[in-house]
Amino acid sequence: MKNLLFKNVRIFDGRSLREGTLDVLLSQGKVARMAPSLDSCEDTRIIEGEGRLLAPAFIDLHTHLRDPGQVHREDILSGSRAAAAGGFGVVVAMPNTAPPVDNEAAVAYVLQKGSCAGGARVLPAGCVSKERQGEEMAELGGMARAGAAFFTDDGSPVKGGRLLMNALLYARDLGVRVMEHPQDMDLSRDFQVHEGRCSALSGMRGYPAAAEVMGITRGIALVRETGCPLHLTHVSTAQGIAEIRAAKEEGLPVSCDVTPHHLVLSEEDVLTSHLSSSFKVSPPLRSTEDVEALWKGLFDGTVDAIATDHAPWHLDDKDVPFMEASFGIASLECAFGAVFHAWHARGCPGSLESLLALWTSRPGSLLPAVEAYRGVLEEGSPAYCTLIDEDLEKTVDIAAWKSKAGVTPYQGRTFKGWPVCTVVAGDLVYEDLPE
Ligand SMILES: [Zn+2]
């Protein structure tokens, strides 16, 4: 493995921005040295940073890689490479595949295929329930030993409260977090869009904010009952954020993430696109008031991570009328640019450090303790980093993506601020620097 030497980079170490510019030497899979001026030694590739920002590689807690079973939509190789192109060094692959990842062998399959994918590291999440049916608990212990990073029935909530409570207790003892997709299935049955302006104007069935809030408060009640940690994923509503904020103030071990699309898009985009199915997603794009509440939650400590919920679909799944289209938005390769651009356009609410921590050390802190890379860049830490060009402007073109996704609502949008190099375990796995 070649050494890598980044010259003249500003450093975000996972928590704060260091003064001035430094050189960073990566050697044998570790951050060997960080100092004002380092000489190159033999067998070292030099990357001129020119004052760009070097951050810990991003960690995505929520990605759909469709593998095993639906590899025409995405697979572990294409997903891992797409993630690297998006600046991610680690992605957590959701287990709602076909068959679902609900046992040790399936966890081992994802890990093994991920280990030779050549992009971001892929950490498997395992199902909470067998076959993700919500009836019987899956073999959580075996999956944890095999390397599962989370337990979740994502795609749906864990069906029964008793099963979720038992899973929280088991998972705590295994040192793995449960990730809950909060949704009351009855209240949101057959939904197409957000219940509010969008449902009223389109005539389509709505998913009320209350259905998400019910899922969140059920989870919080079980955390209060058990004292066990719980992660609530893709929170999309103002009231959902308020419930999590209150639970954190109470001292409960809850954490949550929000997606780039719920930060950058709203139900107004569904309407102005004349119901383009590329904007169809679950939970649905919400009201502009909800979007404002998510941004507030990013910078007051309520939100712990920005997670993509990257949901790649084949054109056949999406190039159909809204009512018939699959739910989901593909975004791995432009997620950072989309959010970074929006942060600027909003006049930089919250600090750059706080924003970057939501992609790095904060999601990193939610991984099982056995994970050595936790979204931190300092001497001695594993060599995972992303070089960010804050001034680079690029237009999203899905045709150039490494992901197999056929549709994204970001197509044709121009964002300023992109990852230009990604290093995973000491290997330069993505590079988009000018010659
Ligand atoms: Zn979900």
Lowest mean pLDDT among 36-45, 155-164, 264-273, 289-298: 36-45
**Nearest alpha-carbon partner for 431 in 62, 79, 4:** 4
CA dihedral over 129, 330, 122, 371, signed as positive or negative: negative
User: What is the whole-number distance in angstroms between the Cα of residue 232 and the centre of ligand 1?
Assistant: 10
Does residue 129 belong to any structural domain of this protein?
yes
User: 209 in a domain, yes or no?
Assistant: yes
C-alpha 42 – ligand 1 centre gap (Å): 48
Q: Would you give the DSSP letter of residue 434?
A: -
Domain contains 375: no
Q: Examine the domain organization and report whether 281 and 308 are in the same domain.
A: yes
Q: Are 373 and 382 in contact (CB under 8 A)?
A: yes
Q: How far apart are CA 249 and CA 254, in angstroms?
A: 10
Domain range for residue 202?
57-364
Give 403 Cα–ligand 1 centroid separation in angstroms.
Answer: 20
Residue 296 corresponds to which tokens in the numbers above? Answer: 């507030």
162 contact partners, CB below 8 Å, separation of at least 6:
none
Measured in Å, residue 155 CA sits from the centre of ligand 1 at: 4
Asked if 171 and 185 sit in the same domain, the reply is yes
Supply the mean pLDDT for the chain. Answer: 96
- Judge whether 67 and 24 are in contact, CB under 8 Å: no
Q: How confident is the model at residue 1 (pLDDT cuts 50, 70, 90)?
A: low
In this structure, what CATH number is given to the domain that contains residue 42? Answer: 2.30.40.10
Task: Tell the burial category of 80 from Cβ atoms under 10 Å away from its Cβ (0-12, 13-18, 19+).
Answer: buried
- Report the distance separating Cα 288 and Cα 435, nearest Å: 41
Neighbours of ion ligand 1 (CB under 5 A): 154, 181
Same domain for 135 and 80, yes or no, is: yes
Q: Please say if the pLDDT value at position 435 is more than 80.
A: no
At 149, which CATH number?
3.20.20.140
- Looking at the structure, tell me whether residues 232 and 124 fall in a common domain: yes
pLDDT for 235:
98
Q: Are 407 and 398 in contact (CB under 8 A)?
A: yes
Q: What is the pLDDT of residues 327-370, one digit of tens each?
A: 999 999 999 999 999 999 999 999 999 999 999 999 999 999 99
Residue 226 host element (H or E) = helix 209-226
Measure 152 CA to ligand 1 centroid, in angstroms. Answer: 9
> Is the domain of 152 the same as that of 285?
yes
Looking from the CA of 46 toward its CB, the CA atoms found within 13 Å total: 11
Element (H, E) at 212: helix 209-226
Distance 181 CA to ligand 1 centre (A): 5
Instruction: State yes or no: is 309 an active-site residue.
Output: yes
Whether residue 199 lies inside any domain: the answer is yes
Contact in structure between 255 and 307 (CB atoms under 8 Å): no
Residue 185, domain member (yes or no): yes
Query: Which of these is catalytic: 309, 317, 389, 427?
Result: 309
Q: Is the residue at 302 inside a domain?
A: yes
Mean pLDDT for the stretch of residues 114-118: 95
In this structure, the answer to whether residues 114 and 243 fall within a common structural domain is yes
Do 71 and 43 lie in one domain? The reply is: no
CA of 343 to the centre of ligand 1 (A): 24
Instruction: Tell which residue, 302, 240, 236, has the closest CA to residue 264.
Output: 236
| Closest C-alpha among 243, 285, 240 to residue 262 | 285
pLDDT for 328:
95
Is it true that the peptide bond before 99 is cis, omega within 30 degrees of 0?
Answer: yes
Asked if 247 and 157 sit in the same domain, the reply is yes
Residue 400 reports pLDDT greater than 80: yes
pLDDT of residue 434: 79
Residues 40, 80: one domain? no
| pLDDT digit string, tens, across residues 405-433 | 889 999 999 999 999 999 999 999 999 99
Per-residue HEC secondary structure of 275-334 comes to CCHHHCCCCCCCCHHHHHHHHHHHHCCCCCEECCCECCCCHHHHCCCHHHCCCCECCCCC
| pLDDT higher than threshold 80 for residue 244 | yes
Give 57-98 as a DSSP string. Answer: PEEEEEE---TTT-TTT--HHHHHHHHHHTTEEEEEEPS-SS
Mean local confidence (pLDDT), 251-268: 98
Contact (Cβ atoms closer than 8 angstroms) between residue 277 and residue 368: no
Q: What is the mean pLDDT of residues 111-122?
A: 96
Does 102 lie in the same domain as 167?
Answer: yes
Q: Is residue 350 part of a domain?
A: yes
Going from the Cα of 157 to the center of ligand 1, the distance in angstroms, rounded, reads: 8
- Residue 312: per-residue pLDDT: 92
DSSP-derived pairing of the beta strands 414-424 and 121-126: unpaired
Q: Verify that 330 and 347 share a domain, yes or no.
A: yes
Find the 424 Cα to ligand 1 centroid distance in Å: 27
Report d(CA 372, CA 172) in Å as an integer.
19
Among 141-145, 286-290, 315-319, name the one with the lowest average pLDDT: 315-319
| pLDDT band (50, 70, 90) for residue 104 | very high
Query: How is residue 260 written in tokens?
Result: 């780039």
Residue 147 and residue 150: Cα distance in Å, rounded? Answer: 9
- pLDDT, residue 42, reads 82
pLDDT in tens, 5-48: 999 999 999 999 999 999 999 999 999 999 999 988 789 999 99
Say yes or no: 213 and 353 in one domain: yes
- Cα angle for residues 179, 405, 281 (degrees, 5° grid): 50
**How many domains in the chain?**
2
Q: Which residues pair with 5 in a beta bridge?
A: 25, 46
Query: 182 C-alpha vs ligand 1 centroid, how far in Å?
Result: 8
- Tell whether 376 is covered by a domain: no
